[in-house]
Amino acid sequence: MSKKTTRSAKPKVDPDAAPQQQKACAIKKVFYISKKLLNTDDDQRMCLERFYHPGKGQPALFITLQERQIMEVLEYAEPRRSWLLNSEVCSNGRMYMTTPIDPTFLALHHLRKHCAQRAMSLDSISVDEADTSTNRLLTKFINADSLKCVADVKTSGELVFYKYNKDRTLAWLAVKTRQVVSVLKAKQVHCGLGAKSQNFVRSEKIVDDNDVKEVDYLRMACDYVGRYLDANLHAELTRYLDIPSEIQALVEENATAKKRKSQQSQASANSKKIKLANGEDAATQLRNSSLLDSDDNKESITSPPSTLAPLKERTMTAMEKVLAKSAKGSKSIASFFKVK
C-alpha cells in the first residue's frame, strides 16, 4: 500500500514587497530634562556630547541644543534599583538630570593650560589640543565677552587673543562663591560641621544662626564651585577666601566647646555658693528673730543636733501603780503547766 504524504504549501513571496524591518529594543533611561531644552522647534534636536570636565579630570557627558545652550548631565546611581515603565521593568535604575552650567568654567581649564605665559586665540588653543570637542566648545558655546573676567583680552584687527589672569579669575570665583552662599542661606541648608537631622528638628527654621558660622557657608559654597575647577585652582580659591581646613575648624570648635563647658560649670558652682550663703544668712536672721524659743534644750531648726539625747523613762499613772501593787505575789497561768 502506498502512503500518502502531505506537504504544507509555502507562502508566496512577493519580490516587489518591501522587506519587514526588525526593530531592536533600545536601552531605556530616565531623564529629567529642563523645560528650556524642550520648548524648542521640531527641527532643533538635542545632542549628547562629551567635553573635558576640569573637576572630574576627564571628559564628561553634556547635552547641547544646537549651538545656543549647553547643560551638564548629572547621574544618580544606587544599587538594586530599577524602573517600572508602563508594563515593562527597566533594569537600569539610574537617573539622569540636566543642570545649567556656565561654559566659562570649562574654558578656564584650557586658558590656564595654554594661555598662562602667552596670549593665544581660541582657534590656536583648539589646534594645540587636537581635539574636535575642544574646538567645538571654544568656538561655538563660549562667549568672548565672558572671558574678560578670567583673562586679559588683546585685539589685533579681527583677531582676539586671551591671556590668563590669576587675580581676575580668583575675584570672579569669589563672586560666584558668595552667590552660592546666598542660595544656601535662602534654602536654609545646614552647613555646620556636625550632622543634623531634618526629621527631628522641632522648629520650622532648620538653620540656626548661632550654630552655623559664615565660614561654614563659605566652605560648602567653595566646595560646590570647586567641583568645576582644577584641584590646584580650588586650593588657591580656598586660600584666597581665607577658609580654614575642616580639621582646623574641628580643633577650634572642640576648644570652644571645652571653654564653654568650663564656663558653665564655673557659673553653676558660683550659683551654688550664692544659694548656700543666702541660706546661711536666712538661718541667722531666723535665729536672731523672736520667732524661735530661746530654750537651750530645744533643738535648732537650721541644723540637726550633733548627739542624740537619751530616752527618758515614762512615768506610771495612779491606776497603773494600783494594778502593779495588786499583782505582786500572784503567779502566771504558765506556771501551772510546768513539769516537775
Amino acid at 200: F
pLDDT at 2 > cutoff 50: no
The tens digit of pLDDT for each residue in 6-65 reads: 444 444 545 454 444 444 345 778 888 888 777 666 566 788 899 999 998 899 999 888
What pairs with residue 125 in β-bridges? none
Confidence at 5, pLDDT banded by 50, 70, 90: very low
Residue found under cell 519580490: 15
Which pTM does this prediction carry?
0.61
Instruction: Output phi, psi for 70, to 5 deg.
Output: -140, 135
**Mean pLDDT, the chain, whole residue set:** 75
Residue found under cell 563660549: 142
pLDDT at 53: 93
Confidence at 162, pLDDT banded by 50, 70, 90: very high
Q: Are the beta carbons of 174 and 241 closer than 8 angstroms?
A: yes
Looking at per-residue confidence, does 200 or 71 come out higher? 71
CA proximity to 184, closest of 164, 154, 162, 206: 206
Q: Which three cell numbers stand for residue 316?
A: 506610771
CA proximity to 108, closest of 213, 281, 230: 230
Looking at per-residue confidence, does 164 or 310 come out higher? 164
Cα dihedral 188, 193, 198, 199 in deg (nearest 10): -170
- Measured between alpha carbons, how far is 136 from 115 in angstroms, rounded to an integer? 18
The tens digit of pLDDT for each residue in 85-136 reads: 888 888 888 889 998 899 999 999 999 999 988 899 888 887 777 678 888 8
Q: Are the beta carbons of 64 and 49 closer than 8 angstroms?
A: yes
